[in-house]
Amino acid sequence: MDTAPAADGTTTGAVARRLAELARELQREEDPQQVMQRIVEQAVQTVPGAEHGSISLVRDRRDVQSAAATSDVARRFDRAQQELSQGPCVDAMYQEETVLVDDLRAEERWPDLAARADDLGVRSLACFQLFVDGGTLGGLNLMASRPAAVGEGVREVGGLFAAHAAIALADAQKLEHLHTALVHRDVIGQAKGILMERFKLSADQAFALLVKVSQDRNRKLHAVAEELARTGSLHR
């Protein structure tokens, strides 16, 4: 039996079923950018009251970027938080994990942002922490143009969606990292082969030479290998 009905009749059971379907769909998607876009689009369609949405990346508490967004409204809101170095999305990722705002225009926590609420077209919000990756934090942000449209009533539903979204995104990032590692390995192998044939080196000697050039130039090993494989030379 479905439980915890939201204001519009949506239940956590219904959301859980939709998330299960979405998880199966996302398993076939290996691009983190596409995964983030699908997540935020589905969140806006699923969570009661949400009109706009974004997934923000925050670095060093100041650099707020929209990694995925459903509208220009969502992108402008993220840019405003970056310009002002304040806002609910930043707080959700660094302090509270979930931040709900009934009326941004009346908020005292972020006075500069509140003053721009009408211009931004955002009055109520729900922001959920998604992940922590090194020095980068990610968050799911749901927005509405009306006061109290997105608020306490979506805490459980939105939190459930955010939890599933974080797992899907983490899986996609792992796949991307694995793919990148395999590409780098292949390029390094090609570069080693060129050096072995050209200078009659062993595999270990060829690899040591690549490492030395990488250190001397202060460049990534795979970048040095890619240059050699592409141009046939380490010194142009």
The tens digit of pLDDT for each residue in 67-86 reads 788 999 999 998 898 888 88
> 12-173 in CATH: which number?
3.30.450.40
Which of 31, 35, 20, 54 lies closest to 161, judged by CA?
20
The mean per-residue pLDDT over the stretch 153-163 comes to 76
Beta strands in the chain (DSSP E): 52-59, 63-69, 98-101, 124-133, 136-144
pLDDT above 90 for 144: yes
Torsion, Cα of 62, 68, 74, 75 (10° steps): 60
Ranges 61-70, 99-108, 188-197: which has the least confidence: 61-70
Name the strand (E) or helix (H) holding 153. Answer: none
Torsion, Cα of 168, 174, 176, 180 (10° steps): 180
Q: Which fold has domain 178-231?
A: Arc Repressor Mutant, subunit A (1.10.10)
Structure tokens of 80? 């405003």
pLDDT tens per residue across span 174-188: 655 545 655 677 788
Per-domain residue ranges for the chain? Answer: 12-173, 178-231
Model confidence at 2, pLDDT cuts 50, 70, 90, reads: very low
Indicate the pairing of strand 136-144 with strand 63-69. unpaired
Model confidence at 4, pLDDT cuts 50, 70, 90, reads: very low
Higher pLDDT, 110 or 172: 110
pLDDT above 50 for 11: yes
Structure tokens of 152? 């306490």
- Residue for token pair 């292949």: 186
* 226/234 Cα distance (integer angstroms): 10
pLDDT above 70 for 190: yes
